[in-house]
């Protein structure tokens, strides 16, 4: 299997996991675990898993001490700030507003990539991102998107999260080329745990573990292991071999997967309108990821 194919497989796995996360997380939060406590649980468990895996197989150390500060930046933008802002913002605004605002992440990635890494953006890629953005926004209910004075703070938080995560995808790329992806992920989560601890500690102490059924434990395991540990590791691998804008563009496939999963579990219905929007997203992602042979060779 070529590296290019592996990158797309990794991004598809991430997309499917995130697509399922929205439905599964709602079964746990906030009834069993409050938002900030859930973030602390996700980050701390993922840190332990990454540490054990890294210690057993990678064993790489950060030799340049100046890179530790860069890894702290990755922890702030890629773990702590983006998770805290998203969960807090989502608790204030509506799921539709939150989903639509998050669809702007790939656009922010392109802007930051051009400014920070001088990444070249082709007309085809730009059209693909905009097309995928349109399809994704309409699929998650873009026509119902509305600003409200009571929700504006939440909207600002989610929008800020989209910009912050976009910056992380671009900023982390240089470190991932220098070190193993799992090394960057490990330090990001270790520092991230310290950063989210003050926000989530009180809520964490309020968790009543005895009330968890087997199903809730399974859901918690999926969120902490699957949608946190596995997704960050796979995203880091993809960033090592592909452009930041390509990794960001896959965000548009998340609502497609979420919709398909909801249909499979009979919590949603497939309509012609939704099918058209899904096809628009697929077409946009294809255009955004399409490269000429020589460009593919250079980047992959």
User: What local confidence, expressed as pLDDT, does residue 140 receive?
Assistant: 66
User: What local confidence, expressed as pLDDT, does residue 95 receive?
Assistant: 65
Tell me the torsion sign for CA atoms 225, 226, 230, 232: negative
User: What local confidence, expressed as pLDDT, does residue 62 receive?
Assistant: 93
Those residues of the chain that have pLDDT short of 70 are 22, 94-97, 99-100, 140-149, 265-268, 290-300
CA distance 1 to 9: 10
Contact (CB, 8 A) for 190 and 79:
no
User: What local confidence, expressed as pLDDT, does residue 213 receive?
Assistant: 96
Give the number of other Cβ atoms within 10 Å of residue 73's Cβ: 16
Domain range holding 154? 3-299
User: What local confidence, expressed as pLDDT, does residue 146 receive?
Assistant: 61
CA distance 266 to 262: 6
Cβ within 8 Å of residue 84, ≥6 positions away: 36, 39, 196, 199
Give me 16's structure tokens.
């499917």
- Specify burial of residue 61 (Cβ count, 10 A radius: 0-12, 13-18, 19+): exposed
CA distance 215 to 196: 26
Cα–Cα distances (Å) from 283 to 125, 133, 134, 215, in that order, read 11, 11, 11, 37
Distance from the Cα of residue 257 to its chain's centroid = 14
Question: How many structural domains is the chain composed of?
Answer: 1
């Amino acid at each position: 299997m070529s590296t290019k194919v592996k990158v797309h497989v990794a991004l598809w796995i991430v997309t499917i996991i995130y697509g399922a996360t929205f439905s599964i997380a709602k079964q746990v939060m906030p009834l069993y675990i409050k938002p900030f406590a859930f973030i602390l649980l996700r980050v701390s468990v993922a840190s332990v898993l990454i540490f054990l895996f890294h210690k057993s197989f990678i064993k790489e150390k950060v030799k340049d001490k100046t890179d530790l500060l860069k890894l702290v930046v990755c922890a702030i933008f890629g773990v702590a700030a983006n998770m805290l802002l998203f969960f807090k913002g989502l608790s204030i605004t509506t799921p539709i507003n939150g989903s639509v605002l998050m669809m702007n992440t790939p656009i922010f990635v392109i802007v930051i990539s051009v400014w920070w890494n001088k990444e070249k953006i082709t007309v085809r890629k730009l059209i693909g991102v905009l097309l995928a953005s349109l399809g994704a926004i309409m699929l998650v209910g873009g026509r119902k998107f509305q600003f409200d004075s009571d929700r504006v703070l939440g909207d600002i938080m989610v929008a800020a999260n989209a910009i912050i995560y976009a910056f992380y995808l671009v900023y982390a790329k240089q470190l991932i080329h220098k070190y193993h992806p799992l090394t960057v992920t490990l330090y990001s989560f270790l520092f991230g745990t310290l950063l989210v601890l003050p926000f989530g500690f009180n809520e964490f102490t309020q968790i009543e573990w005895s009330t968890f059924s087997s199903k809730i434990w399974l859901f918690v395991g999926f969120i902490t292991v699957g949608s946190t540990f596995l997704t960050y590791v796979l995203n880091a691998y993809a960033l090592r071999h592909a452009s930041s804008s390509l990794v960001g563009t896959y965000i548009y496939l998340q609502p497609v997967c979420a919709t398909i999963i909801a249909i499979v579990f009979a919590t949603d219905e497939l309509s012609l309108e939704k099918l058209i929007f899904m096809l628009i997203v697929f077409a946009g992602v294809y255009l955004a990821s399409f490269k000429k042979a020589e460009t593919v060779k250079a980047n992959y």
